[in-house]
């Protein structure tokens, strides 16, 4: 790394002044003195979303009532917002739909992938994948009568496990704990070379890292609305199905919104011709309005600039923690190599939970992932370089003073 060890806070103030993304910070509500390093778990509130919610509640729901479904185009919200998200992930507008939760979308797309690769019985994933991805695979396998296997292996050696038994390679692009990023194009190509389909979870990459699903030939993908897309707590998720697969399978949650003609009210299910068949029930319009507002804001940013700043922020954080907090038991688990680093930095620490609680009490919000990982997410639209400096300052103070060593910081909360 070429950074000098003598970075000063003043130099970082100057760096912020030259940052081409600096003006986006003012588009968000960030409480005073708070350093928010958890946008990979729940993005902050965009100011324009307050306006949008006000409009949607008062003008649309309040005045239009049921006419809103057509007059305000509520009915097309899943496809319209899907088409916008498509621009963030290298997909065609008709390949993405905004709906349900990531977990439910995993169920639908995994069911599709298994059916579209008949004769093969294995879902290949990593042991350290996000639990819901693994749980959904287990539930689907049980539902299908148990003839399938979820093979969970070491992520570092994933390519070695691709063979002619694998029906689908199901991976999360950026690992939620370590921040390690897979080579999505290379693994997609390797999976295809052995006859497997691919299902990528973009929860920790879309919105922070440029993704090109069609450039890589990906088959299926899912992702989250409330993380880097800043859609609000529990925001709807999205899914991607490559055009070539859309007409060949209709997913098992065959609700009326995925019907070719929902308002014909016929008794027999007939799937919508395109991506619309991945819908199930009525879309949550208030939540969709908030998500659309977040996505619109993100679309104003240049994703290459976002990625460049994300790497610069995480480089700086790693560098400053190593320089200033050495000797306090923090062990970097995130790769230093840019090619395999997402937009977060994680450290192992034996007192990780209490340490994070003390940091939160000092207004630096990251999070903790069992058993011993403290995790810091870096969202380039609203974080400044000077925030990185100040976060490390507060971290150092807590380590030096052992401020974490208090009963109240060890008490486990229901959400970590």
Q: How far apart (Å, rounded) are the C-alpha atoms in residues 364 and 93?
A: 38
Binding of residue 224 to ligand PLP (CB under 6 A): yes
Q: Which of 201, 219, 292, 315 binds ligand PLP (CB under 6 A)?
A: 201
Which tokens go with 299?
A: 């679309």
Binding of residue 38 to ligand PLP (CB under 6 A): no
Closer residue to ligand PLP (CB): 236 or 271: 236
Binding of residue 132 to ligand PLP (CB under 6 A): yes
Q: How far apart (Å, rounded) are the C-alpha atoms in residues 235 and 270?
A: 28
User: Would you call 317 a catalytic residue per the annotation?
Assistant: no
CB of 100 to ligand PLP, least distance (A): 8
Binding of residue 315 to ligand PLP (CB under 6 A): no
Q: Give CA separation, 89 vs 156, 278, 282, in Å.
A: 24, 18, 25
User: Would you call 315 a catalytic residue per the annotation?
Assistant: no
Q: How far apart (Å, rounded) are the C-alpha atoms in residues 116 and 126?
A: 22
Binding of residue 198 to ligand PLP (CB under 6 A): no
User: Would you call 201 a catalytic residue per the annotation?
Assistant: yes
Binding of residue 344 to ligand PLP (CB under 6 A): no
User: Would you call 108 a catalytic residue per the annotation?
Assistant: no
User: Site size for ligand PLP, by CB under 6 A?
Assistant: 13
Closer residue to ligand PLP (CB): 206 or 356: 206
Closer residue to ligand PLP (CB): 111 or 399: 111
Q: Quick one: which of 89, 86, 81 has its CA closest to 292?
A: 81
Residue 205 backbone zone (phi > 0: left; psi -120 to 50: alpha; other: beta): alpha
Closer residue to ligand PLP (CB): 176 or 249: 176
- DSSP state for residue 40 in the 8-state scheme: T
Please say whether the beta carbons of 341 and 315 come within 8 A: no
Given the residues 52, 84, 375, 384, the one annotated as active site: 375
DSSP bridge partners of 151: 124
User: Would you call 130 a catalytic residue per the annotation?
Assistant: yes
Please say whether the beta carbons of 89 and 221 come within 8 A: yes
Q: Which of 49, 99, 109, 172 binds ligand PLP (CB under 6 A)?
A: 172
Rounded (10°) CA dihedral 309, 311, 314, 320: -90
Q: What are φ and ψ of residue 209, in 5° steps? A: -135, 135
Binding of residue 165 to ligand PLP (CB under 6 A): no
Q: Which residues are catalytic?
A: 130, 201, 226-227, 375
Give the residues lining the site for ligand PLP (CB under 6 A): 101-103, 130, 132-133, 172, 176, 201, 203-204, 224, 237
């Amino acid at each position: 790394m070429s950074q000098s060890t003598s970075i000063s806070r003043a130099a970082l103030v100057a760096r912020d002044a030259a940052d081409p993304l600096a003006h986006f910070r003012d588009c968000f509500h960030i409480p005073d003195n708070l350093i928010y390093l958890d946008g990979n778990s729940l993005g902050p509130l965009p100011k324009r979303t307050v306006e949008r919610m006000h409009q949607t509640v008062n003008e649309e729901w309040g005045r239009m009532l049921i006419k809103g479904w057509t007059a305000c185009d509520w009915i097309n919200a899943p496809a319209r917002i899907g088409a916008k998200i498509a621009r963030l992930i290298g997909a065609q507008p008709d390949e993405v739909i905004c709906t349900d939760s990531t977990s439910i979308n995993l169920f639908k797309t995994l069911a599709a992938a298994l059916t579209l690769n008949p004769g093969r019985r294995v879902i290949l994933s990593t042991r350290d994948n996000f639990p819901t991805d693994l749980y959904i695979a287990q539930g689907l396998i049980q539902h299908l009568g148990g003839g399938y296997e979820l093979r969970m292996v070491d992520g570092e050696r994933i390519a070695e496990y691709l063979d002619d038994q694998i029906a689908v390679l199901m991976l999360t692009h950026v690992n939620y704990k370590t921040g390690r990023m897979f080579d999505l194009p290379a693994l997609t190509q390797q999976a295809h070379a052995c006859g497997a389909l691919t299902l990528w979870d973009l929860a920790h990459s879309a919105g922070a890292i440029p993704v090109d699903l069609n450039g890589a030939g990906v088959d299926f993908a899912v992702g989250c609305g409330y993380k880097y897309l800043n859609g609000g707590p529990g925001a709807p998720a999205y899914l991607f199905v490559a055009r070539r697969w859309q007409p060949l399978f209709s997913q098992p949650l065959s609700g009326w919104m995925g019907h070719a003609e929902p308002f014909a009210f016929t008794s027999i299910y007939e799937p919508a011709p395109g991506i619309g068949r991945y819908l199930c029930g009525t879309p949550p319009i208030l939540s969709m309005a908030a998500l659309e507002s977040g996505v619109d804001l993100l679309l104003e940013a240049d994703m290459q600039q976002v990625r460049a700043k994300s790497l610069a922020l995480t480089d700086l954080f790693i560098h400053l923690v190593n320089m200033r907090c050495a000797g306090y038991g923090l062990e970097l688990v995130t790769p230093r190599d840019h090619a395999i680093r997402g937009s977060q930095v994680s450290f192992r620490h034996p007192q990780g939970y209490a340490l994070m609680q003390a940091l939160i009490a000092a207004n630096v919000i990251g999070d903790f992932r069992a058993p011993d990982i403290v995790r810091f997410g870096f969202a380039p639209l609203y974080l400044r370089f000077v925030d990185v400096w100040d976060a490390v300052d507060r971290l150092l103070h807590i380590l030096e003073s052992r401020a974490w060593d208090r009963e109240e910081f060890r008490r486990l909360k229901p959400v970590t």
